[in-house]
Structure 1
Amino acid sequence: MRDGLTLEVLVAADYDQVRKLWAAAGLPIKPNGRDSRAQFTQQIAIGTQTILGLRDGKRLIGVVVTTHDGRKGWINRLAIHPDYQRRGLARQLITAAEETLRQQGMTIIAALIEDWNKPSLALFQEAGYIVHDDIHYLTKRDSHDV
């Protein structure tokens, strides 16, 4: 990384910093569901999720979550602190996430981006991702909070 920034794999103990960063970056959080401390810890322990953090000194300024199901990798929850945006750091985290997933054997990498998030959609398209208008994303949830 450039400018004295460091990239590291985050652990469960980093949860509070990650959640604070997500909030600062404007990412919606499901505190009683998939973004809870318990889920965060469990997802790391299972081993199919890797959370990469970008630090300026000790300050967490960027984060990206990678997951996979053994055949396809996913880039999730990409966030850069507002004080550090527009410096190319999100693109660097995408590249780091792709490298992590490829090291785990993934040859297909995807991202789900909500339609309101135009900057993220543009970022991923600039990184070579293709929008598939012919695919519909369907979910079945036990509750709205998960």
Structure 2
Amino acid sequence: MNIGELCNRETIIVLKDENIVEAAKLMRHYHVGDLIVVSKSEDVNTPIGIVTDRDIVMEVVANNADPKNVKVSEVMSQELVTASQEEGIHECIERMRTYGIRRLPVVDKEGCLAGILSVDDILEFLGEEVDTLIGLFYKEKRSEIDKMG
């Protein structure tokens, strides 16, 4: 399975010059823990960073910074790690492990934002796969019992 089939296509975006308070309000409104920072040209969103609720706590709140004077660009992760929507889940898991990240923006062939893959998405998928295997095991066991009598 490629991650284009698994990722969440409903990503919430923010521009780098937006105020961090507005970014936090977006997170609250959409009940998300991250925003993809994009550069916009026409209708194309190219991811350039990510800002998380943890980034806001660590960089703004813990440093006693005035959130009204902090831009998203000052808090966002500068070195964005992404994945192509054609990549497999195992490559993405390995990349997330290597970089120690829980969220991976997904891009299309042109480098435009296509979605986001989170550890939660992966765990949900793997849980469903395990459930399928368990169901197969019990179905096989019931079949053997039925044949025996």
TM (normalized to structure 2)? 0.26
Asked which structure has the greater RCO (Cα within 8 Å, sep 6+), the reply is 2
Structure 1 or 2, whichever has the larger Rg, is 2
Q: Could you say which structure has the higher helix fraction?
A: 2
